[in-house]
Structure 1
Amino acid sequence: MTAGTIDLGSFTFGCGESIPSLEVAYETYGEFSGSNAVLVCHALTGSAHVARRPEREDDRSATDRSTAGQARAWWGDTVGPGKAVDTTEYFVVCANVPGSCYGTTGPASESPETGEPYGSDFPPVTVGDWTRAQRRLLDELGVGRLHAVVGGSVGGMNALEWVRRYPDDVDLVAPIAAAPRLDAQCLALDAVARRAITTDPDWNGGDYYGDERPAPDDGLALARQLGHIMYLSKASMSEKFGRRSAGREASEERFPPDPAADFFPYRDVESYLDYNATTFVGRFDANSYCYLTRAMDDFDLASGYDSVADALAAFDGEALVMSFEADWHFTVDQSAAIAAGFRETDTPVAHHVVDSSHGHDAFLVEPEHVNPPLRDFLADGVSGRAVTDTAAGSDDGEHAAPVHSSLFGE
């Protein structure tokens, strides 16, 4: 494993604004042979720390700067020696995206021109900016054509942007639990999450950095709680929490304190949300959360093209689209639209639908479902033994998808 930061020099964002220096934090795993590079694109609040350290299989206690403040490799059950993305076979690269706060330049970074954190003066970022930064990073690492680009959630959008922007640079692409664009419901929920941050009394227009100034932690905590509700399904929340009380001891840590706590129960589901919110504000930046959710909201695979198929037309590799039945955040139907776009261009593609009740987070927490098709796809393309086209559709070319659960009803 190699962890580092590369200064790419001046960088002009899609909005037209520039910064004099873009530093990109990255990690690599395995040995590069010239044709075995796999780029893994992280999800919204992920980092470059995708796999566990070879010398420490359990990476949960690693909290030094080399892990970008994340205690656990975010896809350690899928990327590593002998795993689906096998680091003894592939040269794996993962880079933290511009606008984040895990080592790559973002709002919390110091501006070389002012000596102060950028804050709200940092340029708006897009998924296209992430992709261009990754391309420049790979150039610095001596990596040209990629064997594969793999990503989950907004990382899957990042992977799709690769085959739209650099179709000649990729052999295989695997967008997992992704979509060609967000629907109105998810756009609305992201907007509420950002407003929780920007209405925090400590927001200060996004310029809250400094030892004497408090950060908008309460707003960020609420935004993260809303995110966790989006990532789980109705069925999985019922199974995990039900209506159980968390008990009096747990209620002492509730956020925010409740004056009626002695009368009304503090439930398991509340305790889960409060715990995750508390740990999240200790490792993430509120500005970055706003910047990255806006980049996700803005992404539209067909933007500037006549259709999704038109956007993918120049790609001549193979694609694995993977979705999960209970994922209401990025639905099976949305993944089917991606697969249909590939099919319209005669790109070999499989849409692998996983029978899972977990929700959007399934791609992170159910490696037993993700790893077999992904492993075989990286080895043999869509002809891989475990790669099944479970949403291939009917003879008339329409691509059906299973009915999926919704957080708001079955």
Structure 2
Amino acid sequence: MSRGRTSPGRQSESATADLGEFRFESGESIPNLQIAYATYGEFTGDNAVLVCHGLTGSQHVAGYGNGSGVAGQARAWWSDIVGPGKAIDTNEYYVVCANVPGSCYGSSGPASDSPDGDPWGTDFPPVTIGDWTRAQRRLCDHLGIGRLHAVVGGSVGGMNALDWAVRYPDDVARIVVVASAARLDPQCLGLDAIARRAITTDPNWNGGDYYGEDARPDAGLGLARQIGHVMYLSKESMDHKFGRRAAGRGGRGDSYPADPAAMFFPYREVESYLDYQGEKFAQRFDANSYLYLTRAMDDYDLSEGYESDSAALAAFEGEALLLSFTGDWHFTTEQAESLASACRRVEVPVSHHVVESDHGHDAFLVEPEKVGPPVSDFLVDGPSGRAVTDTASDNHVADDETDFAPVHSSLFSR
């Protein structure tokens, strides 16, 4: 049975699929996996593009949806990239975006109801990126989609796209990995661990059993998100946006315990920004979901079960586009080039497109004019497209493995 199932030939803003019993990679299972998804465009049999959202994104990649508490950055989060006449052109492609298991925008996760009618909380099974991919494959079956024209993902969604190439190498012709990598580095792992501890040490977390209570772990979740925002911005963008400018004196006494000595010192604009973002995020997202999704991201390692990244990709006979941003220290250009080299070693046609940007990790969301052209050309022409041509990508390894694809500045305007 399914609720809101839509024929692939018709356009639908959003729906929820009941995909039946689902066994997670942890070995635990749930009786009914619900996956909330949105579709755009018309299905013609060979034009399906799956878009994988970022850590706290939703299925509404180019639309505002009809509820599910979706707000802020989770609403129409890539509407400058996906839509009629845009880089992922819904006049040409049938675009599907699914909210991943463990999230809180309509798919099964800690905040959804368990069989006894109460929210799962931390009784929900641990979730991996492999589980996301397997759930998406099952959703595609539900929609009548066989082989995908492309899987596109940014940030942790890029890891999701990579997992498709490894797990279902015959089911996707092209992958687009934007601002992502084969795994997180230790610095990011450490910061994610601190963010999770901000949640689990909030007295209102209550072991994950806070649903229906008057108080929720909003302070801990807000702090976790503040750490995330610092990770997503570059030094240059923070200096330009905030500098050392003061926004007043004191601090946010309504949010954090009063610190009398703080009244002597300036409350800086960067603090004000982070406080605002943390409070806003806590209103739209679930603390347990944040724990689950960051653990899934931290756990992902492309080479797990294989001798190397190259060995993991050896069965993939499709093509790959990698986009990285010079100001992104969350997923660096060096990490992307390492992934490109892994593709070349097993003769996966690949282009690594390096974009000059000082926006940090958020560049893939806030600079669509730099993301759209290479993605659009790749979806049509593959790595030989004019916007993504790369002298080191025509199935050979460059003499200098650290060489990057040229940035086509003529295509991009600030």
Using structure 1 for the length normalisation, give the TM-score. 0.91
Aligned: 1:208 with 2:210: yes
Q: Which residue of 2 aligns with 1:277?
A: 278
CA distance in structure 2 between the aligned counterparts of 1:119 and 1:267, rounded to whole angstroms:
36
1:143-158 alignment to 2 at 5 Å?
Answer: 143-158=145-160
Q: CA deviation at 1:69?
A: 4.3
Cα contact 1:336–1:391 (8 A) shared by 2: no
Aligned: 1:48 with 2:59: yes
Q: Which residue of 2 aligns with 1:340?
A: 341
Unmatched tracts of structure 1, length 5 or more: 53-58, 403-410
CA distance in structure 2 between the aligned counterparts of 1:257 and 1:91, rounded to whole angstroms:
52
CA distance 1:251–1:110, change in 2 (3 Å): closer
Task: Describe the superposition over 1:105-153 as per-residue Cα deviations: whole angstroms up to 9, x where unpaired.
Answer: 00011101x2211111110000000000000001001111000000000
Q: Which residue of 2 aligns with 1:23?
A: 34
1:107-186 alignment to 2 at 5 Å?
Answer: 107-112=110-115, 114-186=116-188
1:259-298 alignment to 2 at 5 Å?
Answer: 259-298=260-299
Q: CA deviation at 1:256?
A: 5.7
Cα contact 1:351–1:390 (8 A) shared by 2: no
| 2:25 aligns with one of 1, 14, 26 | 14
Q: CA deviation at 1:253?
A: 6.8
Paired letter, 1:140? H
Bigger shift: residues 21-30 or 384-393: 384-393
Q: CA deviation at 1:249?
A: 11
1:242-253 alignment to 2 at 5 Å?
Answer: 242-247=243-248
Q: CA deviation at 1:252?
A: 7.4
Task: Describe the superposition over 1:257-315 as per-residue Cα deviations: whole angstroms up to 9, x where unpaired.
Answer: 55345421111111110111111000000000000000000000000001101100111
Q: State the number of aligned residues.
A: 391
CA distance in structure 2 between the aligned counterparts of 1:256 and 1:173, rounded to whole angstroms:
47
Cα contact 1:391–1:399 (8 A) shared by 2: no
Paired letter, 1:91? Y
Determine helix, strand or coil for the equivalent of 2:177. Answer: strand
Aligned: 1:356 with 2:367: no
Q: Which residue of 1 aligns with 2:408?
A: none
CA distance in structure 2 between the aligned counterparts of 1:258 and 1:80, rounded to whole angstroms:
49
Unmatched tracts of structure 2, length 5 or more: 1-11, 406-414
Q: Which residue of 1 aligns with 2:9?
A: none
Using structure 2 for the length normalisation, give the TM-score. 0.90
Q: Which residue of 2 aligns with 1:372?
A: 373
Q: CA deviation at 1:339?
A: 0.7
CA distance in structure 2 between the aligned counterparts of 1:186 and 1:161, rounded to whole angstroms:
20
Task: Describe the superposition over 1:181-201 as per-residue Cα deviations: whole angstroms up to 9, x where unpaired.
Answer: 111111100000000000001
CA distance 1:330–1:395, change in 2 (3 Å): closer
CA distance in structure 1 between the aligned counterparts of 2:69 and 2:371, rounded to whole angstroms:
24
Paired letter, 2:138? R
Aligned: 1:96 with 2:99: yes
Cα contact 2:82–2:88 (8 A) shared by 1: yes
Q: Which residue of 1 aligns with 2:310?
A: 309
CA distance in structure 2 between the aligned counterparts of 1:154 and 1:170, rounded to whole angstroms:
18
Paired letter, 1:103? G
Cα contact 2:162–2:177 (8 A) shared by 1: yes
Q: CA deviation at 1:82?
A: 1.1
Q: Which residue of 2 aligns with 1:190?
A: 192
Paired letter, 1:38? V
Cα contact 1:254–1:271 (8 A) shared by 2: no
Task: Describe the superposition over 1:62-111 as per-residue Cα deviations: whole angstroms up to 9, x where unpaired.
Answer: 7x416734573111111111111111110000000000001000001110
CA distance in structure 2 between the aligned counterparts of 1:400 and 1:125, rounded to whole angstroms:
36
Paired letter, 2:266? P
CA distance in structure 2 between the aligned counterparts of 1:131 and 1:107, rounded to whole angstroms:
19
Paired letter, 2:194? V
CA distance in structure 1 between the aligned counterparts of 2:118 and 2:386, rounded to whole angstroms:
54
CA distance in structure 2 between the aligned counterparts of 1:242 and 1:256, rounded to whole angstroms:
26
Q: Which residue of 2 aligns with 1:220?
A: 221
CA distance in structure 2 between the aligned counterparts of 1:143 and 1:394, rounded to whole angstroms:
35
Task: Give the share of equivalent positions with the same residue, in percent.
Answer: 67
Bigger shift: residues 137-146 or 383-392: 383-392
CA distance 1:15–1:277, change in 2 (3 Å): same
Aligned: 1:32 with 2:36: no
Paired letter, 1:2? E
CA distance in structure 2 between the aligned counterparts of 1:118 and 1:379, rounded to whole angstroms:
43
Paired letter, 2:277? N
